[in-house]
Amino acid sequence: MDKYKRYERLAAIVKIFSENPNTLINLEYFMNFFGIAKSTASEDIDILKSVIEKFNFGKLITLPGAGGGVKYIPIANIKSYLPFVQEIKEKLKDPSRIIPGGFLYTADLIYSPNIVTKIGEILVFPFLDKNVDAIVTVETKGIPIALMCAKALNVPLVIIRKDSRVTEGSFVSINYISGSQRHIRSMSLARRSLQKGSRVLLIDDFMKAGGTIRGMMELMEEFDAEVVGAGVMISTEKPENKLVDNYISVFVLKNMEEEKNIIDIEISDWILKG
Amino acid sequence: MDKYKRYERLAAIVKIFSENPNTLINLEYFMNFFGIAKSTASEDIDILKSVIEKFNFGKLITLPGAGGGVKYIPIANIKSYLPFVQEIKEKLKDPSRIIPGGFLYTADLIYSPNIVTKIGEILVFPFLDKNVDAIVTVETKGIPIALMCAKALNVPLVIIRKDSRVTEGSFVSINYISGSQRHIRSMSLARRSLQKGSRVLLIDDFMKAGGTIRGMMELMEEFDAEVVGAGVMISTEKPENKLVDNYISVFVLKNMEEEKNIIDIEISDWILKG
């Protein structure tokens, strides 16, 4: 008789997949973990597949062959995130978020673990099958979102520094023009923090003209990295001509009027249309 | 007949708890989610309790009464993390981590989502019943660990800035002495990012003399916050007299000799002794 009952194994497998999204786990792992036969492990996975789909928790993908196994994709379709995105949109419209100087206060949202977990899952969704090797962000406010993107894709996070306080050996720096303030700034990344030729997804919290993402792209060239895309939580509608074109955002900030206490923000089309 | 089979409900509940650690969920939530009676929901939870304990996945705590419910604590005992901590210790001993200037390269570990998830769970373990309201860290390298601490406790993260580039309204700044370099530095936090009187846990990646944590403590006084404790991934053995005393670390760096290629690092006693 098997050491564990089926419902016990299923519960345990759900836990293992939840903690290891986008990670290929072979059947042998489960056979050893539970002390079960291959056929039993296969049956467990088949049952779990339908459970996960039934509850809209994402999907399990089986890759056949010697190097194969099962992989849990935590997000089945982008539309299932609509209620969440709508809730965050309402929060973003709160006029008390307007900070003198034309800034939008978002720290309570982008530093909230449960919220950034979901924002991360949404931002990586279009890149699930793009073989991303690493998530790249620039300090500071984009780091929590970027880490959750990295967790959702099961790849390492790389953090670019905005100064040269790099205590990680030799590093590469570039100058870039901060679009919103038209200042020349620099960003630096240690040589050893990103392998040459990596496929990277650039992540940040906010994008106006796109100067920061543009700077990240230039820095990536120094690492022979291939930029698969860029994602931000909020992009502004204006200026229409950004310094980058290949990007997605969760929200589009259309207008913000300090005097009238108005924040006009919309959910991006690609999410609304699913 | 119930809409879902028991094994389906159990799998779904595991998923819900995994994504919401340390969050009180009442039975009504499950009754509505699955369309089941209270007695059935209670039975489900009881079964799950034993499953979670059987696999050492942590524990479920039931709080009775009107405001009660069930809470999932993702870590049952610190000893179950020993194999993981030992694996990271071996990685930390790799002499290629020594950076000229006496620094230790850890970015590959502290920016790896799966590793920081577990480091976060370990660091919050002694504070699970301490009613922590927020995790506080200072940019940049400690942010990923701090976010995972916040996720494990289900509380918000607060990020102190090392400069005055605070675009979040009025802020408080303090000067502090960076212990390792004896420089005067400043750190700033926006007024609205932390409620007065909060109970906070301070988190960072590395601690030598403790100047940064000491500075964070001073800044917390400005917010009338109560510092419940401090946790870092790595603390150094020397200097023995730190600027703070109430702290825990996962690893203790005993010695690092650039010339001899030696990194002597140990797992902290409180983890070894469980």
- Contact partners, residue A242, CB within 8 Å, separation at least 6: A207, A209, A210, A235
Which three-class secondary structure state does DSSP give residue B215?
A: helix
Residue pairs between chains A and B whose CB atoms are closer than 8 Å:
150
Q: B116 and A147: CB-CB below 8 Å? A: yes
Instruction: Give which of B235, B155, B241, B191 is closest to A114, Cα–Cα.
Output: B155
Q: How far is CA B48 from CA A142, B3, B243, in A?
A: 37, 19, 45
The C-alpha of A165 sits at a distance from chain B's nearest C-alpha, in angstroms, of: 10
How far apart CA A250 and CA A231 sit, in angstroms, is 8
CA nearest B148 in A: which residue?
A: A113
Return the pLDDT at B3.
87
DSSP B67: T
How far apart CA B194 and CA A53 sit, in angstroms, is 40
Q: Strand pairing partners for B186? A: B175
Could you report the predicted ipTM of this complex, rounded to two decimals? Answer: 0.94
How far apart CA B132 and CA B150 sit, in angstroms, is 10
Residue type (1 letter), A173: S
How far from chain centre, in Å, is Cα B249? Answer: 11
Chain A residues whose CB is inside 8 A of the B19 CB are 18, 114, 117
| CB nearest to A140's CB, from B14, B100, B161 | B161
The residue with tokens 């310094």 is: A243
Q: Which of B48, B84, B140 to mutate to test the interface with A (most CBs of A within 10 A)?
A: B140
pLDDT higher than 80, residue A191:
yes
Q: B18 and A20: CB-CB below 8 Å? A: no
Chain A residues whose CB is inside 8 A of the B169 CB are 99-100, 105
Q: Strand pairing partners for B138? A: B160
The C-alpha of A139 sits at a distance from chain B's nearest C-alpha, in angstroms, of: 7
Residue type (1 letter), B10: L
How far apart CA A39 and CA A47 sit, in angstroms, is 12
- Contact partners, residue A33, CB within 8 Å, separation at least 6: A12, A16
In this prediction, residues A192-202 reach a mean pLDDT of 97
Q: Which of A168, A170, A191 to mutate to test the interface with B (most CBs of B within 10 A)?
A: A168
Q: How many CB atoms lie within 10 A of CB B39?
A: 10
The full set of domains in chain A, from first to last, is: 6-73 (1.10.10.10), 78-273 (3.40.50.2020)
Return the pLDDT at B220.
98
Lowest mean pLDDT among A148-157, A211-220, B50-59: B50-59
- Residues B213, B230 contacting (CB under 8 angstroms): yes
User: Residue A159 — very low, low, confident or very high, per pLDDT cuts 50/70/90?
Assistant: very high
Chain B residues whose CB is inside 8 A of the A157 CB are 111-113, 144
Q: A103 and B143: CB-CB below 8 Å? A: no
Residue type (1 letter), B218: E
Q: A168 and B103: CB-CB below 8 Å? A: yes
- Residues A46, B92 contacting (CB under 8 angstroms): no
Among positive and negative, which fits the CA dihedral B188, B190, B191, B193? Answer: negative
How far apart CA A73 and CA A125 sit, in angstroms, is 10
Roughly how many angstroms between the first and final C-alpha of chain A, as a whole number?
46
Q: How many CB atoms lie within 10 A of CB B80?
A: 13
Return the pLDDT at B181.
65
pLDDT higher than 70, residue B9:
yes
Chain A residues whose CB is inside 8 A of the B57 CB are 12, 15
Q: How many CB atoms lie within 10 A of CB A209?
A: 20
Which three-class secondary structure state does DSSP give residue A11?
A: helix
Q: What is the pTM of this model?
A: 0.94
H or E element in which residue A31 lies: helix A27-34
User: Residue B1 — very low, low, confident or very high, per pLDDT cuts 50/70/90?
Assistant: low
The C-alpha of A101 sits at a distance from chain B's nearest C-alpha, in angstroms, of: 8
pLDDT higher than 80, residue B179:
no
How far apart CA B211 and CA B215 sit, in angstroms, is 6
Instruction: Give which of A185, A88, A4 is closest to B51, Cα–Cα.
Output: A4
Q: Strand pairing partners for A253? A: A236, A265
How far apart CA A148 and CA A160 sit, in angstroms, is 16
How far from chain centre, in Å, is Cα A115? Answer: 12
DSSP B125: G
- Residues B27, B20 contacting (CB under 8 angstroms): no
pLDDT higher than 80, residue A148:
yes
| CB nearest to B167's CB, from A19, A51, A103 | A103
- Contact partners, residue A44, CB within 8 Å, separation at least 6: A6, A9, A10, A13, A30, A36
How far apart CA A19 and CA A33 sit, in angstroms, is 16
The residue with tokens 């589009």 is: A252
User: Residue B180 — very low, low, confident or very high, per pLDDT cuts 50/70/90?
Assistant: low
How far apart CA A123 and CA A151 sit, in angstroms, is 12
- Residues A214, A243 contacting (CB under 8 angstroms): yes
Residue with more model confidence, A179 or A15: A15
The C-alpha of A103 sits at a distance from chain B's nearest C-alpha, in angstroms, of: 7
| CB nearest to A168's CB, from B48, B105, B190 | B105
H helix runs in A138-183, sequence order: 143-153
Chain A residues whose CB is inside 8 A of the B20 CB are 114
Lowest mean pLDDT among A72-76, A83-87, A117-121: A72-76
Return the exposure string of A24-52: e unless at least 16 CB atoms fall within 10 Å of the residue's CB, then b: ebebeebbebbebeeebbbebbebbeebb
pLDDT higher than 70, residue A179:
no
pLDDT higher than 80, residue A181:
no
Mean pLDDT of the residues in chain B = 93
